[in-house]
Structure 1
Amino acid sequence: MAPPEHIPWWKDAVVYQIYPRSFQDSNGDGIGDLRGILQRLDYLKRLGVDVLWLSPIYASPNDDNGYDISDYRAIMPEFGTMADFEELLREAHARGLKIMLDLVVNHTSDEHPWFIESRSSPDSSKRDYYIWKKGKEGQPPTRWESFFSGSVWEKDARSGEYYLHLFSRKQPDLNWENPQVRREVYSMMRFWLDKGVDGWRMDTINMLSKPPDYPEGRPIRGSVLTEGQPYFLNGPRIHEYLQEMHREVLAHYDVMTVGETPGVTPAEGALYCGAERGELNMVFHFEHVFVGDETAERGKWSNPPLSLPAMKRVLARWQTELHGKGWNSLYWDNHDQPRAVSRFGDDREYRVESAKMLCTVLLFMQGTPYIYQGQELGMTNVSFESIDHYKDIETLNAYKVLRDEHGWDTARILAGVYGRGRDNARTPMHWSGEKNAGFTDGTPWIALNPNYPDINATVAEADPGSVWHHYRDTIALRKALPVVRDGTFALLEAEHPTLFSYIRDDGNTRLLVVGHFSRQPGTYALPQEFVGGEVLSNNYASLEGTGELRLKPYQAVVIRAR
């Protein structure tokens, strides 16, 4: 008899993302910190999650809220000390919680010692740690556009050469062609893994390899990709680099890895996370959260309406085409996305119902779920009255470009920011109805969403009918049903404009999952095998109908076949 297949622990895990700056302040300076996270470990344990992913906590000038790192082996002083981190790691492990850190190695801060030395002279020993090019007839080397607007090339006054930055000019790209750079990164990774860190979320990991000829290029027609992006996504040596990283570092530790990989298809995703390839465990794709953006006038800032059939096709393709070849990551919200209940649900009259519905349809798919702080409360987008209240560099740069280059008025720009700006996810966590939502005794680094007296953790935990309890119960239910981890996925009603329904099947158990994306009542004819089946989850108190369900606004149900 063959031994049972080893199941990696991360296939049964649920990840909770913490944006440390906005999670919990412990010292009254208005900025969340490590000791604040320590105070909330029991809350996270009660929710039932397994892994805490911390967005960057390293030393940084904060041009891009910590994604511009000036010292990979030091803690940002605003967040605390290395001793604080080590205590957090010990206390999390004592509760059975794992800690995953952000690995940001496509770029550093321009205040990192490597870059300071690199720009000091063309003859510097670290010049080749970054990507330097001469211009063309007084112009940058290429027309490539930065994710944060403008050219990816910044001219250095001292040498007259340009350095590459795919993001902010204060985030110069590392040169992964240089083997010494790779050795430095691997040494840094071992530093943290030897402390007991349990994994990595790898920021923009499919951008490490750039084509050596740096082609001028044009954007892909009908794509959200801007000038140059088709060339610096999934570059020529990316799999070689990741296989080397796995061989040199990851294979020696029992950790989980997820790569942020914009622009990948399921077939490309399988190259990054195929079990036999020795690269990553899973990837984050963006197809479902970019649906509609590719044909909008100004991408996400146009905030096109949701096409549920289009989003279902994306999610179903990843579920079916990656099944048995790789592993999915499941998410609606994160630090770069608006609040899902505001974008895909109804954040007013049916906020609770639609937040629960989104929880159900996400957590019953195959893959590792990622819950972003406040998602379990049904936190919503925020609408600040002025652009002056926003902090995010992407939003502030986009405001200037949309106003000055495209002629948008303030109201139109703010409508896009309200719908899709990254600060929607970065307002402080709502812990209570007290001053500043219990986040801080000081002045918050960014204003709170004013609805915190009604939407907060204290209220939610005390209310058995809250979004929080639905998340807790759904997490427990998916862990009790092997079919959720192992089963196949079959999409039903593919073109239905408001219903997302699918079947999960592992040969022993068949589940029907139905989510109703509408504030209007609807009907759903049950497949015969589910008529009279056991209702495992329902975000309403009752389920009306037998063969034909009468669905209430944003109702979601899970039924086990007879």
Structure 2
Amino acid sequence: MTDSETRPAADWWRSAVVYQVYPRSFADADGDGTGDLNGIRAKLPYLAELGVDALWISPWYPSPLLDGGYDVADYRDINPEFGTLADADALIAEAHALGLRILIDLVPNHCSWEHPWFKAALAAGKGSPERDLFWFRDGKDGQPPTNWPAAFGGPAWQQLDDGDWYLHLFDISQPDWNWDHPKVIEEFDSILRFWFDRGVDGFRIDVADSMAKDAGLPDVPLEDGQPTREKYVGNPFYDQPGVHAIHQRWRAIADEYADTPQGPRVFVAEAWLSPAERLAQYVRPNELHSAFNFDALRAAWDAKELREVIDHTTENLWAVGAPATWVLSNHDTIRHRTRFGRDKKDALEGAGVVPTDLALGLRRARAAALLELALPGGAYVYQGDELGLPEVEDLPEDVLDDPTWERSGHTVRGRDGCRVPIPWSGSEPPYGFGPGTEQPWLPQPADWSPLTAEAQTDDPDSHLNLYKSALRIRRGHAALGEGRLAWDQDAPEGILSFTRDPGFQCVVNLSDAPVPLPPHQKILLTSAPLSAGELPPDTTVWLES
């Protein structure tokens, strides 16, 4: 694949298939058990052959890694465990030479307590200008300023020895920036330009709905006696109106680069907001370019529910001129092979507590991949999705790294099960993750040898080759990517069937029985073999109509 074969520069992001790389767990070039930028560089040909359009690289910045890199100590450098700025520059250039664009994470709600500005704020003391860059407040009768809960457990405020409390909506090590302060606004303008000038094609905005806070600091309602974690309309720290001015400012910066030979620089929002009407406010023409559709990720394997999500998403995003952006898994969620192997009411439950049929989950994951890649708009593939990896739900407690484990008092295992380093080759760990035998930072299962990229490459029926075939067809078919769909109103109950012009039809059987194929000229691809010319349960087919 060459750059000339990528989507047109003016609109590449509207149809792009983006592959998410979690750097610690993708590929290890130096053999220390931790993934790194040179490991990513070595695998760029693999990603180009897979057929994706871009990479999104989770945080690569200097960090104490108390929250997997989302605790950023320096926004203008590379974590030494991952490499150097020179390595990042080489990665960007080599990716571009292969026709792959690069998106990186921006973490604007909070930084690490190791960030120089927060360390200066701690040293400066109560009432200092340095503390105005964060949310330092007095408590109330010895209690926190508000009852706000932290996302990883416990209260969202931490008290210092001098009596001040600081806000951390996530881990205690992640103080929230004060986006009412002009110095914070200007700093992030500069950070965007720093990376755009180095050739980065865009940013994924971490918790894009959280930067603005209600300065009156009202409490949140109680639910079962505890402060609610719901993102209700009017929540004082999520989806506040002020966040849109920040996004509009960023969009103007990105638009400064629109006429460069590299093409437009773009943003994708992480905003866990429902219903889609709320999410659509983030992708209006003067704000962010796209947003992850988490309603689809959370949907059960159910025809009625999936159709409702697809309709609601597309209708609301199209109304503001934005494409839908579909995602099945990421670094924060249980891998979809495992989710789809469970009863739908328990699909999102925590590790190890729900019976799982992984064979059923794999069959549904294959069907879901073809559904995702046939829908209008863009799509995201989390590393290992293309290998059919399951969630690792039996990690030993002594290796758990997610702050949720500690903040919950060792009651919630957290997200480590989807972050286990991916297998590349060989019959035993570390499965080619690094050049030697050093075991990776999270242990890999002993039964993953059939799932390695090497083992799947020469198997025409493998999960990896299903993805390659789907992405090849998607790239070459005029009906796929950005556009519209039309539902087949005569489809039986439990069947999703839609057409896309010109001449494409996708049929997904979510019922318990085989169904006849609709009239067609050619079968382009199936997620599982047909049965006597019929589409079996938990199977998707792409047809030329």
- TM-score interval for Structure 1 and Structure 2 normalised by the shorter chain: 0.7 to 0.9
Match of 1:252 in 2: 257
Q: Deviations over 1:157-203 (max 9, x none)?
A: 12x11111100011000000111101001101111110101110010
The 10-residue stretch of structure 1 (421-430 or 147-156) with the greater mean CA deviation from structure 2: 421-430
Contact 1:341 1:358 in 2 (8 A): no
1:16 has 2:4 as partner: no
Displacement, 1:64? 0.1
2:527 aligned residue:
539
Aligned twin of 2:327: 331
The answer to whether 1:449 aligns with 2:453 is: no
1:188 corresponds to which of 191, 195, 198: 191
Q: Which amino acid aligns with 1:376?
A: E
Aligned-residue CA RMSD (Å): 2.7
1:113 corresponds to which of 112, 116, 124: 116
The aligned counterpart of 1:168 is: 171
* Alpha-carbon distance in 2 for matches of 1:60, 1:500: 47
Q: Does 2:301 match 1:317?
A: no
C-alpha distance in 1, partners of 2:376/2:364? 21
- In the alignment, the residues of structure 1 paired with residue 239 and residue 379 of structure 2 have an alpha-carbon distance, to the nearest angstrom, of 24
| 1:241–1:269 CA distance, 2 compared to 1 (3 A) | same
In the alignment, the residues of structure 1 paired with residue 245 and residue 144 of structure 2 have an alpha-carbon distance, to the nearest angstrom, of 29
1:438 pairs, out of 432, 437, 453, with 432
Q: Establish whether residue 282 from structure 1 lines up as the match of residue 273 from structure 2.
A: no
- Cα distance, 1:464–1:52 mapped onto 2, change above 3 Å: same
- Once the two structures are overlaid, the 10-residue window that deviates more, 177-186 or 390-399, is 390-399
Distance 1:57 1:493 in 2: 47
What one-letter code is carried by the residue in structure 2 that aligns with 1:437? Y
Residue 39 of structure 2 is aligned with which of 21, 29, 36? 36
Quick one: distance in 1 between partners of 2:14 and 2:337? 26
In structure 1, what is the equivalent of residue 543 of structure 2? 559
Alignment of 1:198-347 (within 5 A): 198-218=201-221, 226=229, 230-253=235-258, 254-274=264-284, 276=285, 278-291=286-299, 309-325=304-320, 326-345=322-341
Which residues of 2 match residues 129-144 of structure 1 at below 5 A? 129-144=133-148
C-alpha distance after superposition, 1:366-409 (max 9, x if no partner): 12111111100101111326433322112443353x4xxxxxxx
Count of paired positions: 511
Q: Which AA in structure 2 matches 1:512?
A: Q
**Secondary structure of the structure 1 residue equivalent to 2:13:** helix
User: Does the alignment pair 1:128 with 2:132?
Assistant: yes
Q: Judge which range, 224-233 or 138-147, deviates more.
A: 224-233
The residue type paired with residue 288 of structure 2 is L
Matches of 1:516 and 1:390, distance apart in 2:
38
- Verify the 8 A CA contact 1:165 1:173 in the aligned structure 2: yes
Q: Distance in 2 between matches of 1:427 and 1:279?
A: 34
Q: How far, CA to CA, are the matches of 1:214 and 1:187 in structure 2? A: 29
Shift of 1:225: 5.9
- Give 1:390-539 correspondences, 5 Å limit: 390-398=400-408, 400=410, 402=411, 417=413, 421-434=414-427, 435-440=429-434, 441=436, 442-491=438-487, 499-506=494-501, 508-509=502-503, 511-517=504-510, 522-524=513-515, 530-539=518-527
Aligned to 1:410: none
Task: Indicate yes or no: 2:65 matched with 1:62.
Answer: yes
Q: Which runs of 5+ in 2 are unaligned?
A: 1-7, 259-263, 342-355
Q: Tell me by how many angstroms 1:516 deviates.
A: 3.0
Q: Which amino acid aligns with 1:144?
A: W
Structure 2: distance between partners of 1:143 and 1:308:
40
CA contact (8 A) 1:219 1:228 kept: no
The equivalent residue for 1:349 is 359
- Indicate conservation of the 8 Å contact 2:389/2:451, yes or no: yes
Deviation at 1:478, TM superposition (A): 1.7
- The gaps in structure 1 that reach 5 residues or longer are 292-304, 403-412
Q: 1:9 to 1:249 in 2, by over 3 A?
A: closer
Whether the 8 Å contact between 1:355 and 1:467 is mirrored in structure 2 is no
Give the direction of change, closer, same or farther, for the CA distance of 1:147–1:399 in structure 2 (3 Å limit): same
- Aligned AA (1:53): W
SS in 2 for 1:28: coil
Identical counterparts, % of pairs: 34
Q: Deviations over 1:37-79 (max 9, x none)?
A: 1111111111011111110000001110100001111111110
Cα distance in 1 for partners of 2:167, 2:407 equals: 18
Q: Residue in 2 aligned with 1:46?
A: 49
| 1:149 CA drift (Å) | 0.4
For the Cα contact (< 8 Å) 2:148–2:227, is it kept in 1?
Answer: no
Structure-2 separation of matches of 1:208 and 1:250: 22
Deviation for aligned residue 1:352: 4.9
Whether the 8 Å CA contact 1:513–1:556 is kept in 2: the answer is: yes
**Range that drifts further, 128-137 or 321-330:** 321-330
Which of 340, 359, 370 is the equivalent residue of 2:369?
Answer: 359
Structure 2 CA distance for aligned equivalents of residues 494 and 104 of structure 1: 46
In the TM superposition, residue 307 of structure 1 has moved relative to its aligned partner by 5.4
Amino acid of the residue matched to residue 44 of structure 1?
L
1:379 alignment partner in structure 2: 389
Does the Cα contact within 8 Å between 1:60 and 1:109 map onto a contact in 2?
Answer: yes
**Equivalence for 1:407:** none
* Aligned equivalent of 1:27, options 30, 54, 62: 30
**CA 1:228/1:46 → structure 2, altered by over 3 Å: closer, same or farther?**
closer
Equivalent residue for 2:346?
none
SS at match of 1:537: strand
- The residue aligned with 1:146 is 150
State the alpha-carbon separation in 1 of the partners of residues 360 and 486 from structure 2: 28
Deviations 1:324-368 (A, max 9, x none): 532211110111111111111476334653332121011111121
User: Partner of 1:558: helix, strand, or coil?
Assistant: strand
One-letter identity of the residue aligned with 2:484: T
Spell out, residue by residue over 1:518-559, the C-alpha distance to the aligned partner (whole angstroms, 9 max, x if none). Answer: 7x5x13355xxx4244322212344534xxxx3324221122
Q: How far apart are 1:219 and its partner, in Å?
A: 5.6
Of 245-254 and 204-213, more deviation after overlay is shown by 245-254
Following superposition, the deviation at residue 139 of structure 1 comes to 0.8
- Relative to structure 1, is the Cα distance of residues 451 and 494 closer, same or farther in structure 2, using a 3 angstrom cutoff? farther
Residue 362 of structure 1 aligns to which amino acid in structure 2? Answer: E
- The letter of the residue matching 2:273 is G
Q: 1: distance between equivalents of 2:247 and 2:214?
A: 16
Preserved contact between residue 47 and residue 472 of structure 1 (Cα < 8 Å): yes
**TM-score, structure 2 as length reference:** 0.87
Cα deviation for residue 456 of structure 1 reads: 0.6
Corresponding residue to 1:91 among 70, 90, 94: 94
> In the superposition, relative to structure 1, how do residues 167 and 174 fare at CA in structure 2: closer, same or farther (>3 Å)?
same
Deviations 1:258-284 (A, max 9, x none): 01011243222222112x3x1111012
TM-score, length-scaled by structure 1: 0.85
Please say if residues 316 and 490 of structure 1, whose CA atoms lie closer than 8 Å, have aligned partners that are also in contact.
Answer: no
| Superposed displacement of residue 315, structure 1 | 3.0
